Amino acid sequence: MQKEAEIRDPLILGKKSYHDITKDIARPVEGKANKYWWILFSLSFGLFLWGVLSMAYTVGTGIGAWGLNKTVNWAWDITNFVWWIGIGHAGTLISAVLLLFRQKWRMSINRSAEAMTIFGVLQASLFPIIHMGRPWLAYYVFPIPNQFGSLWVNFNSPLLWDVFAISTYFSVSLVFWYIGLIPDFAMLRDRFSEKTAPMKKKLYSFLSFGWSGKAKHWQRFEEVSLVLAGLATPLVFSVHSIVSMDFATSVIPGWHTTIFPPYFVLGALFSGFAMVETLLIIMRKVVSLESYITIKHIEYMNIIILLTGSLVGTAYITELFMSWYSGVEFEQYAFINRATGPYWWAYMIMMSCNVLTPQLYWFKKIRTSFVATFILSIFVNIGMWFERFVIIVTSLHRDFLPSSWSMFSPSFIDIGIYLGTIGFFFTLFLLYARTFPVIAQAELKTIVKSSGSEYKNKK
């Protein structure tokens, strides 16, 4: 057993045995949902239905139902797409990078973070499909033989790079998530009885692939986990870099800049960790896992948010400096217009939420408070949504010809689709919490004697 310094706070609270961990983590799947789950599920499903109706109206009417115009031909759709892709990033970082660094605190939060990645990428993929206008032709983005002769996708387009990057990211994340679930599916299989729950017994028997916990199984599990972590780690950096090239490879002032790839990656990790905090602070109450998702986990994530938030602020300042240093008047005007033009309020929200808000985590009292963290994590996600909005809309609405300058206002359908994806995301997450173990119980048991409060013997 690994020895841990006594000064470290425990990661598992209460006198928990191995059996207690199994019972606590299986309870949300085996038992009935509490009132908090039903309230959240009702709200989420209501938003999801609104989104479905808005999407159906868009497909039936056309994207003219959105608030787009000839000048601002990308707006809420691409803003929401990039925002959702960014939210999915923290899951891969927690599950892959922290696994390679052997960080124990990831064990209580990696499963939910991986689920968040998968559900976030699903929401993001909806926007390009809807924006096509004819979603039933979405398969045209893949380079497959067709009946139109030599009709092929444009391999020089970053929009096509997006397709390959995101589909690869989704595939690897899904396999990584499922591999980690196999021991927990086996645990649920063994807890359900053929007499009382035959369907659940058969379902989890099928999902567990005959896992028996043999040493050979664990050896293969560890090897596959490390291989997938090694594959997923470059994806953390490549996927959002490629998404940023949708903008950086253009000639639009405010977009045509080489800082975008690292800037987008940092922003994605920043917003992703904030969403993990938002979800976990809710879920620890909804599924009664307060002993396993502790303030120490939240504090570690707050430190990462403080670091990435400071780096994002540095990127903002670098952008402003380079626009001045370039000597290009169009580039300079793009940034002056962001701060002082008609969308100045969006720029101020972005700067205050993304640069000033994380600095509050320098104070230990704030970064070790569930209430403060929950509020600040929502502010960070609001700020990161406005960052994408500012980059996209303020760079487009005033282009090279003043005669074509225009303003963008979202339509009721724009708002409905966005809120619908939020509802869909939380609906999927709540259903996941009632179907799959939300914490990797097999991994958690490996640290109970080194990081459990009963074994710490703090003086």
Query: Model confidence over 413-424: pLDDT tens digits?
Result: 999 999 999 999
**Confidence class of residue 457 from pLDDT cuts 50, 70 and 90?**
low
What is the rounded CA–CA span in Å between residue 292 and residue 346? 38
**pTM here?**
0.91
What is the rounded distance in angstroms from the CA atom of residue 148 to the CA atom of residue 160? 19
List alpha helices for 101-157, DSSP H: 110-131
DSSP result, 193-241: -TTT-HHHHHHHHHHTTT----HHHHHHHHHHHHHHHHHHHHHHHHHHH
Q: pLDDT band for position 456 (50/70/90)? A: low
Q: What is the pLDDT of residues 58-99, one digit of tens each?
A: 999 988 889 888 888 888 889 999 999 988 877 787 788 888
Q: How far apart are CA 127 and CA 78, in angstroms?
A: 7
For 291-315, give one letter per residue: b (16+ CB within 10 A) or e.
bbbbbbbbbbbbebbbbbbbbbbeb
Per the prediction, the chain carries an average pLDDT of 87
Q: Is 25 helix (H, G, I), strand (E, B) or coil?
A: helix
Give the model's pLDDT for residue 423. Answer: 94
Instruction: Note the pLDDT tens digit of each residue in 352-374.
Output: 999 999 999 999 999 999 999 99
Residue 6 has a pLDDT of: 64
> What's the pLDDT score for residue 419?
94
Neighbours of 457 (CB within 10 A): 7
Q: What is the reported pLDDT for 452?
A: 67
Is the distance from CB of 389 to CB of 79 less than 8 angstroms? yes
pLDDT score for 162: 87
Q: Which of the two residues, 148 and 327, has the higher pLDDT score?
A: 327
d(CA 275, CA 272): 5
1 pLDDT tier (thresholds 50, 70, 90) = low
pLDDT for residue 401: 84
25: amino acid identity, one letter: I
So what's the pLDDT on residue 188? 87
Nearest partner of 58 among 454, 409, 416, judged by Cα: 416
- The tokens for 93 are 């970082």
> Which tens digit of pLDDT belongs to each residue from 287-306?
888 888 888 889 999 999 99
Contact partners, residue 454, CB within 8 Å, separation at least 6: 14, 15, 16
DSSP 8-state class, residue 439: S
Q: Which residues pair with 452 in a beta bridge?
A: 12
Interval 118-136: pLDDT, tens: 999 999 999 988 888 888 8
Domains of the chain: 18-140+155-451 (1.20.1630.10)
Least trusted range by pLDDT, from 97-106, 259-268, 313-322: 97-106
Distance CA 382, CA 354 (A): 9
Sign of CA dihedral 128, 131, 132, 135: positive
Reported confidence tier of residue 447, pLDDT bands at 50, 70, 90: confident
Burial of 321 from C-beta contacts in 10 A (0-12 / 13-18 / 19+): exposed
pLDDT of residue 459: 45
